Chains A and B, each alone.
Chain A
Amino acid sequence: MTAMPRLHGQRGSSMNPDNNNQGQDQGPQRQPSAPHATMRDHQRIRLEAVSKRWGDTAAVDAIGFDVAPGEFVILLGPSGCGKSTTLRMIAGLEQASSGRIEIGGRDVTHLPPGDRGISMVFQSYALFPHLSVADNIVFGLRSRKVPKAERRERLARVAQLVDLEAYLERKPAQLSGGQRQRVALARAIISEHPICLMDEPLSNLDARLRGEMRREIKALQQRLGMTVIYVTHDQVEAMSMGDRVILMQDGRIVQDATPSELYERPASAFAAGFIGSPAMNLVTLSAAADGAVIDGEPRCSVAPHEAKGHWLGLRPEEIRLLPADAPGVPAEVIDAEYLGADSIVRLKVGSQQLRARLDGRPSLAAGSPCRLQWRREAAHFFDAGDGQRLAIAGHDLAAPPGRHRFEPGLAGASTQEREARASSHPAGNDSSGVNR
Chain B
Amino acid sequence: MLIHNADRRMQIYGALLLLPAAVLLGTFAYLPTVATLINSFFLPGFRGAPPEFVGLENYAMLVEDRTFWRVARNNLIYAFGTIPTSIALALGMALFVNARLPGRGFVRMAYFTPTILPMIAAANIWMFFYAPQIGLFNKLLGALGLSGVNWLGDPSVALTSVIVMTVWKEAGFFMIFYLAALQSIPPELKEASDLEGTSRWSFFWRVTFPLLMPTTLFVLINALINAVRVVDHLFILTKGGPNNATNLLLYYVYENAFSFFDRTYAATITVVILLVLAVVATLKFTVIDRRTHYQ
Contacts and interface: CB of A to CB of B under 8 A. Distances in A.
A binds B: yes
Please list the 8 inter-chain residue pairs (A to B) with the smallest Cβ-Cβ separation, ordered nearest first: A114-B197, A140-B196, A126-B188, A130-B293, A143-B198, A126-B192, A143-B196, A113-B194
Contacts of B192: 120, 122, 126, 139, 187
B189 A126 contact: yes
Contacts of B7: none
A118 interface: yes
Interface string B202-229: 1000110011010000000000000000
Nearest to B203: A143
Contacts of A91: 191, 195
Contacts of A171: 293
A113 B192 CA distance: 9
13 contacts: A91-B191, A93-B194, A93-B195, A112-B197, A119-B195, A120-B195, A129-B211, A130-B293, A140-B198, A142-B206, A143-B197, A173-B295, A187-B192
B193 interface: yes
B196 A130 contact: no
Interface string B172-200: 00000000000000101101111111110
A128 B195 contact: no
A113 B193 CA distance: 9
Contact of A114 (B198, B206, B211): B198
Contacts of B293: 129-130, 171
B83 to A, nearest CB: 24
Interface string A148-175: 0000000000000000000000010100
A118, A119, A128 pick with most chain B CB within 10 angstroms: A128
A118 to B, nearest CB: 7
A404 interface: no
Given A124-B186, A126-B186, A129-B295, A143 B191 contact: no
Interface residues of A, number: 25
A115 B207 CA distance: 21
Contact of A191 (B188, B194, B196, B207): B196
A140 B198 CA distance: 7
Nearest to B292: A130
Given A126-B186, A129-B295, A143-B202, A113 B211 contact: no
A171 B210 CA distance: 14
Given A114-B194, A124-B186, A128-B189, A143 B199 contact: yes
Contacts, number: 69
Given A122-B188, A124-B186, A128-B207, A143 B295 contact: no
A118 B194 CA distance: 11
A144 interface: yes
Given A91-B191, A113-B194, 17 more contacts: A92-B194, A112-B194, A112-B197, A113-B197, A114-B195, A114-B196, A119-B196, A120-B195, A128-B206, A128-B207, A129-B293, A130-B211, A139-B206, A140-B195, A142-B206, A143-B193, A187-B192
A120 B191 CA distance: 9
Contacts of A142: 206
Interface string B256-295: 0000000000000000000000000000000000000101
Interface in A104-130: 112-115, 118-120, 122, 124, 126, 128-130
B196 to A, nearest CB: 3
Contacts of A122: 188, 191-192
A130 B192 CA distance: 15
Interface string B125-163: 000000000000000000000000000000000000000
Contacts of B195: 91-93, 113-114, 118-120, 140
A86 B248 CA distance: 61
Contacts of B189: 126, 128
Nearest to B189: A126
Contacts of A187: 192
A112 B196 CA distance: 10
A93 B196 contact: no
Nearest to B293: A130
Contacts of A119: 195-196
Nearest to B196: A140
B197 A144 contact: yes
A182 to B, nearest CB: 15
Contacts of A118: 195
A143 B207 CA distance: 12
A92 B293 CA distance: 30
A187 B193 CA distance: 11
B191 A126 contact: yes
A187 B198 CA distance: 14
Nearest to A187: B192
Nearest to A199: B188
Contacts of A120: 191-192, 195
Nearest to A188: B195
B231 to A, nearest CB: 37
Contacts of B186: 124, 126
Contact of A113 (B188, B191, B206, B295): B191
Contacts of A173: 295
Nearest to B211: A130
Contacts of A92: 194-195
Nearest to A130: B293
A322 B200 CA distance: 69
A115 B197 contact: yes
Contacts of B198: 114, 139-140, 143
Contacts of A93: 191, 194-195
Given A114-B198, A129-B293, A139 B211 contact: no
B192, B193, B197, B206 pick with most chain A CB within 10 angstroms: B192
A120 B189 CA distance: 12
Contacts of B199: 143
A18 to B, nearest CB: 30
Nearest to B295: A129
Contacts of A112: 194, 197
A124 B188 contact: yes
A112, A122, A129 pick with most chain B CB within 10 angstroms: A129
Interface string A241-282: 000000000000000000000000000000000000000000
A131 to B, nearest CB: 8
